[in-house]
Amino acid sequence: MRKGLFLLVLLLCLITTKIYSNTISKPEWLLNGYIEDYMGKSFDFLDDAVVFFSEYTSEELFRSSYFFEEQNGMTYIILPDVNKRFLCLANDIVCVLYDEESDNPYFIGYWSLRGSELIDYFKPAAFSASSELKEGSITYSAGNLASFDQKTPWVEGVAGNGIGEYVSFHTAYQYLYLFSGYISYDKPYLYEQNARPKKIKITITDKGSSQEFIFDLEDTPNPQTLAFPDRMYGDATLEILDVYPGTKYQDTCIHAILGKVF
């Protein structure tokens, strides 16, 4: 749909009747503003505890009250008026929703149309790794970092917590968005049972010159912004320096990585 038509539909929807709820406090990432995604859906968190959804292809529109539920470090958004419950990974730029029906994300969205134009999805072949965990017929490969499907993180494959293990890729971005941990709608406990990166080093090499950047990460499955001083070009290596240990497993997991030009 053309952007002008999208904005007109959005405006018409925002002036319709609102539904109220006794929602709990909102997460820090929650801002007003619509989120568009590549599958033709958008939603808008309004001032009065209302979430707005639209489906452009069928022009079906609905609103719902909402509240949040925390489980094993995961945030679920509950929409009682339309009987929906999503696993929600979000910050102030990117939002990813999962439901129980598919391992694929329900959608991936952004806080503005302009933001979506600057986001870049990696291809699986873009990533290589120092090691990859193999469990039977399953390999938790570096290429999984390009997939937002549930239960498909990159997992390092050495003994211990994977300190010193790394993934390599090419960068042309000022920002990266990193999603930590093992993500599962129906098994949220796997996030805490597996290790997550706590501190990482990103080394970017271009034309024989290298720069190193250290990032301290929060223990959250929500996307974390890795900001560089400018748009960085070159071959990048993301190395694990420290981890949040898992309660059951030593394997360190990273769910996905996105690039943003500037």
% pLDDT > 70, the chain: 72
pLDDT of residue 63: 62
Confidence band of 62 (pLDDT split at 50, 70, 90): low
**What is the predicted pLDDT for the residue at 14?**
29
What percent of the chain has a predicted confidence (pLDDT) above 90?
56
d(CA 28, CA 93): 12
Tell me the CA distances in angstroms from 93 to 66, 113, 118, 245, one per residue in order: 20, 11, 11, 28
Q: Is the model more confident about 106 or about 17?
A: 106
Q: Which numeric CATH code is attached to 121-260?
A: 2.60.120.260
Going through 80-185 in order, the beta strands assigned E by DSSP cover 84-90, 94-98, 107-110, 119-120, 128-129, 133-135, 138-140, 154-155, 166-180
Q: Quick one: how far is CA 249 from the chain centroid?
A: 23
Mean pLDDT for 159-174 is 96
Domain boundaries in the chain?
Answer: 3-117, 121-260
Where is pLDDT greater, at 35 or 134?
134
Q: What does the pLDDT read at residue 205?
A: 97
Q: Does position 254 have pLDDT exceeding 60, yes or no?
A: yes
Long-range contacts of 73-77 (CB under 8 A, 24+ apart): 73/181, 73/188, 73/191, 73/192, 73/219, 73/220, 73/221, 74/188, 74/191, 74/221, 75/27, 75/222, 77/51
3-state helix, strand, coil in the chain (%, to 5): 10, 50, 40
Query: Confidence class of residue 111 from pLDDT cuts 50, 70 and 90?
Result: low
Asked if 162 contacts 177 with a C-beta cutoff of 8 angstroms, the reply is no
Residue 204 pLDDT exceeds 50? yes
- Banded model confidence at residue 83, pLDDT cuts 50, 70, 90: confident
